[in-house]
Amino acid sequence: MPRVFGGGSIQLARISGIRIGVEPSWFFVLFLIIYLLTGYYGDRFADGTAFTLAVVSALLFFLSLLLHELGHAVVARRNNIGIIGIDLWMLGGVAKMQRDTDSPGVEFRVAAAGPLVTLLIAVACFATGTAIAGAGGAMDSARFDSAGGDEVLAVLGYLTFINGLLLVFNLIPAFPLDGGRIARAAIWWRTGDRVQATRLAARVARGFSFLMMAGGLFLLVDGDVLNGVWLIFVGLFLGQAAKQADAQTALTSRIEGLTVADVMDAEPVVVPATLSLERAWDEFFLRYGHPWFPVVDPDGRFSGLIAREAVEGVPEADRPGRAVASVMAVDTDGASGLRVGTEEPLEALLALEGLQRLGAIIAVDTEGRLRGVVTVDQVGRALNGAERPPVSSSQA
């Protein structure tokens, strides 16, 4: 399910160039699921086997979540929406897109891709269980009713159940859950107004959040503390996420139609990669006082960043014989999130961690040549309407 909150995460891998990470909260939920599943499997298997099955089941569950988010990511890419990465966290996963969808059809396809993957996983697990124990045995296992001792069937039953539950939860028509995004696509298609569609979908989401919290309070009063607290927490998250998504859509609508080239500084100060550290220090850091500068190769292509700390870490006696390229932070194929295409919509910058971390993003052309720099202040002025390009006579 898409999420409007950001945050740092620990990188685990890259799949087709997509960064896969986990937030610290993920480890808490992983251990909690393993603990709860060890108790469940302990009623049917020996302690060592129960723990092993719990670990395998928990990891496969998070693999299911990852595949769900990859479904969103693949369809988004096919519709020319860049993916910054996928993060797993306490309440599931999030595929972080560089920008919002630009039509109801794209919104529907991206939103529906995740639940479709989850449905296929649940069907595949149930079909495999049926092949092993028949439809009745697979159904019993998915309902946690099987008293048998087949480890594979037990895990398949859990995966069928948990993916079915994930599917139902994500299809709740509460934005920004997938069901809420599908509902937004429908409203957007009928009204032609993305902001209005988001606002209506967010109102429905807040209604569902109140229902969840009320249900959680009921469970607490009834003595079910764990599920009650969890339902209240999810309700609070859903309401806050809907509120932020509504505000974010209203914000990005102000810069609709603007590209990076419209607001960038087209004449930034850059440092050649072949320049000595001594000259870089004297001619750039001492002269301008900036904490970092973009670095370009002899052909003008963006290579990385050179920071003040990196130069200071080299003894003065060694600086004349060391080139900037030897200590710069390398930007490999844009994987660091420091660059953006000049023709990308300005909205794409809002999701880039480099803009938040450094206060600026490097603008490059299709061949990777540095064409400008976009700062946080420039984006802020654009959001306030100060950077809109003049209207031509053909537009008036």
Region 321-348: mean pLDDT is 77
| Structural domains of the chain, with CATH | 10-255 (no CATH), 260-383 (3.10.580.10)
pLDDT of 334 strictly over 60 = no
**Which strand ranges, in their side-by-side order, compose the sheet holding 329-330?**
271-272, 292-296, 302-307, 329-330
pLDDT of 3 strictly over 50 = no
DSSP assignment string, 82-103: -EEEEEEETTEEEEEESS--SS
Buried/exposed 362-392: b ≥16 CB within 10 Å, e otherwise: bbbbeebebbbbbbeebbeebbeeebeeeee
- In tens, the pLDDT along 190-231 reads 988 887 888 888 888 888 888 889 988 998 888 887 778 888
* CA proximity to 272, closest of 292, 291, 300, 311: 300
- Using a cut of 0.75, tell me whether the model's pTM lies above it: no
SS3 assignment, position 122 = helix
Q: pLDDT value at position 139?
A: 67
Q: How confident is the model at residue 337 (pLDDT cuts 50, 70, 90)?
A: low
- In tens, the pLDDT along 280-305 reads 999 999 999 888 999 999 999 998 89
Region 32-37: mean pLDDT is 88
Pairing verdict, β 360-364 and 370-375: antiparallel
Region 349-377: mean pLDDT is 80
Q: How confident is the model at residue 394 (pLDDT cuts 50, 70, 90)?
A: very low
Structure tokens at 256: 């609709």
Share the mean pLDDT of the chain. Answer: 82
- In tens, the pLDDT along 74-89 reads 999 999 888 888 988 8
Instruction: Return the DSSP state at 281.
Output: I
Cα dihedral 202, 208, 211, 215 sign: negative
Q: pLDDT value at position 353?
A: 66
- In tens, the pLDDT along 364-373 reads 888 889 998 8
